[in-house]
Structures are given as C-alpha cells and as structure tokens.
Structure 1
C-alpha cells in the first residue's frame, strides 16, 4: 500500500518540478519520473558541437513566481538562480526602418515612445500603461494566480465587472486601439497574441496583461546556464527538500482501484504505489494510453491546438556587440499573417523573434555566440508536406535574416526545429504551445487540473489553467500541489 500522502509526479518539466518542490517542502513522499535523461521538459537544451541552445521558452517574466517556489522550500532565488533584468526588454524593428526599445521604467519608456511616436502618443502611452497595471492588479490574484478548477471560481462579480468596464472583454486589438494610435506602438502591445495562438482581433482584451508582464513587469534571464538553468535549479531544490527524481524512466500506466489512484507502472516493470499522481506531460498523449478509464475530460474532445513555430538555432563564429537580447522584426503585413495562421497556413510575411543570449557565456566558445530565430507557422493539423515545406521556409528565413543585417548564415552550424521535430519531442499536433487561448479554452474551460471521476489524479502544465508561458506553468504546478495537500489534511 502507498505511504499515506505518497505522490508520483510524471514529468520533470517546469510544472512537474514546481509541484514536486511544493509537495516535498510540505513533507510529502514525492517521486518524480522523467523519460528524458535530465530535467526540463519543454524548457530543454541541446548541443551542436561546442554550442548550446535553449530549445524551449526564451522569455522569462514575473520572477516573483520562482522566488515564491524557492521560498516555500527555504531557498533564496538570488542564491539558487541569479537573474539579470534585460535592458531593453525587447527591441522592436519595423519595415519602415524605425526602431522602438522597450525599456525598464515608466519615464524611460515614455521618453522612448516620445522619440519614436511623438509627445501626444507618449501621453496616451502613459495612460494606457496605467490601465494595464490596473487590469493586472485585478486579474493576477483573481484569475491567474488562483485555482480555476471549480466553475464558481469564475463567478467573481466585482473583478468581472471591473474588467468589463476597463475593456477586458473587447478584442485585444480593439482595446489597444481605443487608447493608442501609432501602429508601431499598437503592434508592441498586441504581438503577445502570438503566445495565445490567437489573432489580436479574436483574443480577449483581458490578455493585455501579458503585455503588462512583458513591457512593464520586465523580462529576465539567468546569469548562468541559459533558460535551462531554471529546471535544473528547481530539480536541485526539490531533491534537497526530499523529492526523489528518476531520470530515463518512462511511466506507462496510471493504475487505479476502487478508491481512486493506486500506483504508477513504469517501463522497467516497477510499480510505484501512490495516493496521488500528478500528470505533468502532454495531456492528449497521456489520454492516449497512460491514463486510466474514467479520466477523460470533455474539454479535450475537440482540442484547438495553437499554431507552431519554425526555429533556427545558429552557432556564430563572431559576437554581435550591438545586438539586443530579444529583437522582434515586424513584417510589413499584419492582419493577413494572423489570418494565415488561423487557417493553418504558413505566414506570408512573418514577424520574427531573434534571440541573442549574450550573457550566456557558456553557450559558445570565447569570441563566438549563439543566435536563434523563431517564425510562427502552422502546426501539423494543416496537412502540409513538411519534408518539402521546411526547406522552403528555412531558405526564406535565411534570406530574411541576411536582409536584416545578420549576414549569410547558410553555412553556420544550425539546429532546425520544425513542427515534425516538435512532434518527435512529444508535443501533440507538432506545436510547443499546447492549446490556444480562445474563450472556450480559458480558465475553467481549459482542461481540468483534476480528474473528477478518478480521485487522486491531478494534472499540471500548459494544457491546464492558467495556460502557456513560464509563470502560468509554474503556477499550475504549485496550485496542483496545494490541492493535493488540502485533500490530505
């Protein structure tokens, strides 16, 4: 029989590790099983000769979420995972040759807007920035950093009424255009819809809080080890708190008895008895064989997956001293690019996110550097022949990078991640962005974080609420752990 309160966590990604840290810190018997040889999951790492690349998220916001996780285990974020705040958070470049740096602090950012867009738009920006802050102050405690597993969690009259009054239930595009007039600044506050897998005209205005996290709260980066340092640090804290992490071991079946969850069967033939199980991996794949009968969720009957991306990781034989850490190169087209993604087609004129992690000295030999270019594209559900399409998109992206001043990178060491590659890495539909964030896949309408008919079976990660992104995934893991602790009191 399982030790009272014994928990098995399936997956050592950010969500699984967040749950493990919280549970182990509370004194629970926790075992994490991970099929790969190390922690990370989606927040992974890959090597190509002497170069190391982050193969998952490149943007870290809301470091307080990490600090809170480390804090429950008696650890300090600055000691375990020193971060630096980027400046600029982003560099935004436009097809007309203009450039806008997203800077820390209201005064510095208002001056940057004044320089690029004029004094009248700068005044409008300051008012809009404060609106974003008000929306964030309402949404964060009520709907983001909160348990949304119960329908009644949505029924919070004052926050909902206040968000409606602020324009949160308009489209994101309409909300931003109501306050800003310069197209460049509008794009700076609506491109975040790409994170949601939605066009700005269809995404809800409540998601303007993502722009607040990015452009006001700030973007951070680990001082050593790149983004993959985050799961490594979480794993170390979980183990210090008492969790056992087993790498290179695959969970093949969650077993139940009349009381609910009973054990997790491993590929080795072992059986780990458990009172609770946290499934922190790709949910559609888990429902295809790992999970027991009765664990199905009506929210996954017709899942709407987000678009995917093509990422080219380059090893450079030089450094780029004037390059920002994150640069967004906006294409001339805008609405048509989102329409193409929504229709399952590659974008005709994509905007690119170029990441140059200059502070990650261990990612390349001395005098060398790494560079990553991300282009949003269709997922595998569009039925494209990726053996033919990927080379064409690569060629176009290389040409675009050359035109943008990065030089000819065709002969540089290169790692390509396209939708089939994301599928091989365990992402359903070939997208690392899980489900999109349309209203019917938001909050309580997103796949449940607990199986109603299988006591003890819980879920964490980007398929559940709050959703996609480093802070939401960490919050998901922590909330799952807190529900388990509450149930065992």
Structure 2
C-alpha cells in the first residue's frame, strides 16, 4: 500500500486525504495547528466562537464528493441550513435588496424593487448562468491541465463559452442585461472573490454568481468550522492518520547522505517524505503540499526558483487583501440577515483605490456576517458574533503602514457598525490585517492568493505539479482551479488524481 503524506489539514488537504484513502492509499495528514481547517479556522474567546476564514458556503455537493470517497456522506456528517435571503444588500441611498433563494422568489424581489424589465432580464440571466456553469465546471474547473494546449482537447466546450461571451468582461456583461445600478453591483461583486474588479474580471466568473445567487448559500450547524471537522472525521474513520501540532520543515528527496535510514536532503531528486519540526523523518511515496505556493517554495524548496506566476515580485498578480474584525458584542442586530453587504456610493473608483493606487477605498463597501443568528454556539444568549470585512490592498501594491493604521481602521469600522445598526458594546475582538495574513504564510498578505486574471486562470494558473520535483503535488487556492471554498475542494481531488498518475 502506497503511503501519501498530506501537508496541511485545510479544506484542500482534507479533500485530497479523503480521495486518496478512498483510492486505497495509506494517508498521513500533518497539520501545524491543533484543529483542522487551515484558513477555515476558528477562534474561541470569552464565550464567543468565531469562524476566522470563509463565511459563504455554496455548492454542498462539492463537500459530499470527498466525503463519499472516504465512505461517508454529507447527510451523515453535516446538517446544512439554506440561508434565505442569501444576502441582504444595503445601498448608500438608503435602499435595500435581498438575494432570495429560487428563481421565482428572486424574480419577485427584482420586479418589486427594480421593475418588470429587470425581472424579465433575470429570466434570461438565470438560463445564461446555468449554461455557463454546465460548460465551465467539468471542462475548465474540475480537471487537471498539463499545458494550455489541453484546451484544444475540448473544442466544443471552449466554443460554447466564447459564443456565450464568457471571455468578455463581467461588469459590462451585467450592465447590458440589467437597468438598475443596484443589480449591477449585486450580480458582479462576486468578482472580488476572484481577486478582480468587476470590469476586469472575465465574464466566466459569473459562475460564482451562479453558485450563490442561483444554487443558494448554506450554513452548517456548528459553524463553518464544521466543514473541515466533517472531512477530518470521515478521513480518520476511513483510516487516515491526522496529526495536529505538527509542522513540516523539510522535504526528503533523493540524494546523497542518509537521515535515520531515509533518503537525504540534497538538492534535486524525487520526494521521498518529510521532516517535522521535531526532526522526525516520515517516509512517503508521494507528498501533497497545501501551503501557499510562494511559502512552499521558500520553505520547502529553497534550492528551486519558484515559477514566475507564483512569485508576485516576478510577475504574479495577487488578489487584494482584507481587514477582518471579529467582534463579540452584547446585543442582537435587528433587520439584518446572516450575510449583509453594505455598498458605498463609489464603485469603480473604489476598485482603483484598492488595486491600482494601493490605498484604502475612499468609499468602501463592506461585508458583515452575523454567525450567531444561525449558530447557537457562537455567542452567549443575547449576544452576537460579527465578522466585519473590508477589502484592502495586498502588501505588494499597498502603501499602508498597518502598524500605524490598525487603530484608525478599528475606529472607522466601529463607527460604521454603529451607524449601520449593529451592536457595539464590544466584549471580545480580534483585528486581522494583511500583516497577520502574511505571518500565517500567505503571500502578499492576502488570504485570497493569486488573482484570476486570464494569465492566471485554467491551464495558465500555476500547476499542481512541478516536473522538477517528482513525487510532490500541490493543492489549495494558489494552484488549480483557484480560490474559495467551492474551488479548493476540487483542488484536493485533482491533487489526488495527480498522485494516482505518479504511483500508478
């Protein structure tokens, strides 16, 4: 039985472990933290429990797939609640819109708030989104690429995407379909998940809009942290060994010298295992690494130059970052949903601030997630946990001194919460800036990895294998297919397929 070591018990690593154990391999997962989750982590303080990573969960079938590979299922491991509305949008002019679940409910919302013309346009929009997803998911997202030439292997799907305008720009595509400016924002802000302004993102990233606006947004009982716990539980029950509090410091590779009877660590050669912070050498037939790619090359492959697209200094274009303020407060907000988007007056100019000028948004839009509305474990009765997110420049382009800006940012966010009607009697808090993301090993101080520009999409995105290092496979948001909970789960499966190819 082949032995595979997985570095990291985040979502991609756990998905890879489930697929590998299901394929008959012996699997050991090594996680530096004390709990599973990686970026989908948790923070417990003063009776409050915070989800510290992604807050929006879509496409639950992508969770079910690795669970089933490990002999379990979504129904067995997770209790999901459909959020309706998926989002509550607040606009600077005082108006509001909600993203309702289901075609008819959302159509009625649009007709009531925006008029019959936009309601009719929504009918065509849903058809277009569904066709876009059906063409894109199996052919361009959920598959491995060895070279850009692989695109030619499925010419019909490529031709369909071109004919549908998938390689146009998302912002203009949405504006052509709807008259109401509020809908332009509501159906294109998802480009931020791909690390781009709506007017720069390819229209194919409307697939993200499809995932949350059409297929629905869910919340797992026990919080988002329940997702990695479910995957870890399924992998463990199927026979995988998961070791927490274990940091991998080196890769064992073929070469001269021996360390405890295992291959040495000379430059070059096939990967044969890993070394932990305690000096323990663990032999493996293959290794799946889920570290952010620049961190992986810097810490584990110092003898190799990272591919150009991986290194922001040499050409990689990284997504904007975010300040996230975790707040435990006395009181419960009224008139708010689980996910709330507060749009500023400014739109295009705010993205210029963020991505071109490297400054804070002059008129920011913000996301506030109130986990405690649907998670009784998140806060004591009569209290709330708030996840407040403001996009900010990453450290590559940003001109912000975060040591000095931390206090003023907190005060601005506090003023925003007060004016927007959220509780502000704060009992516990944690402010996360790009400096903290960087300290966690995230390149350019962003948790959103490489942006999904055309040269960093599909076969042009950094591969999950480096031919110079046989036996090593990458998974996670920095490689294929990309960023976000829906994408890193297939990333784990694609990594497992690469291991299968290597080991036969």
State the TM bucket, normalised to the shorter chain.
over 0.9
Secondary structure of residue in 2 paired with 1:369:
strand
Within 2, Cα distance between the matches of 1:290 and 1:488? 22
Within 2, Cα distance between the matches of 1:150 and 1:456? 19
Of 238, 258, 280, which residue of structure 1 is paired with 2:235?
238
Of 270, 285, 288, which residue of structure 1 is paired with 2:295?
285
Secondary structure of residue in 2 paired with 1:124:
helix
Q: Kindly indicate whether the alpha-carbon contact (under 8 Å) linking 1:255 and 1:292 is maintained by their aligned counterparts in 2.
A: no
Query: What residue number does 2:323 align with?
Result: 310
Within 1, Cα distance between the matches of 2:88 and 2:423? 19
Matched, 1:81 2:78: yes
CA RMSD between the two structures = 1.5
Of 77, 84, 102, which residue of structure 2 is paired with 1:105?
102
Query: What residue number does 1:441 align with?
Result: 456
Within 2, Cα distance between the matches of 1:485 and 1:295? 26
Secondary structure of residue in 2 paired with 1:379:
coil
User: Deviations 1:295-340 (Å, cap 9, x if unpaired)?
Assistant: 7423224222111111111112222353200010110100011111
Matched, 1:272 2:282: yes
| Structure 2: stretches of 5+ with no match in the other structure | 256-268
Q: Kindly indicate whether the alpha-carbon contact (under 8 Å) linking 1:256 and 1:292 is maintained by their aligned counterparts in 2.
A: no
Number of matched pairs: 484
Query: What residue number does 1:338 align with?
Result: 351
Within 1, Cα distance between the matches of 2:379 and 2:253? 48
Of 449, 459, 464, which residue of structure 1 is paired with 2:474?
459
Structure 1 residues 11 and 74: CA distance shift in structure 2, 3 A:
same
Matched, 1:473 2:480: no
Matched, 1:196 2:211: no
Matched, 1:253 2:268: no
Query: What residue number does 1:161 align with?
Result: 159
Q: What TM-score do you get using the length of structure 1 for normalisation? A: 0.96
Matched, 1:397 2:413: yes
User: Deviations 1:190-217 (Å, cap 9, x if unpaired)?
Assistant: 1011111111111111111110011001
Within 2, Cα distance between the matches of 1:191 and 1:370? 24
Q: Indicate the larger mover: 76-85 or 55-64.
A: 76-85
Q: Kindly indicate whether the alpha-carbon contact (under 8 Å) linking 2:318 and 2:451 is maintained by their aligned counterparts in 1.
A: yes
Within 2, Cα distance between the matches of 1:150 and 1:243? 32
Within 1, Cα distance between the matches of 2:335 and 2:347? 27
User: Deviations 1:120-146 (Å, cap 9, x if unpaired)?
Assistant: 111011111211111111101111122
| Structure 1: stretches of 5+ with no match in the other structure | none
Of 371, 390, 397, which residue of structure 2 is paired with 1:375?
390
Q: Kindly indicate whether the alpha-carbon contact (under 8 Å) linking 1:19 and 1:480 is maintained by their aligned counterparts in 2.
A: yes
Of 370, 378, 399, which residue of structure 2 is paired with 1:356?
370
Give the C-alpha shift of residue 294 in structure 1: 4.7
Write out the 4+ residue segments of structure 1 that deviate beyond 3 Å after TM superposition: 292-296
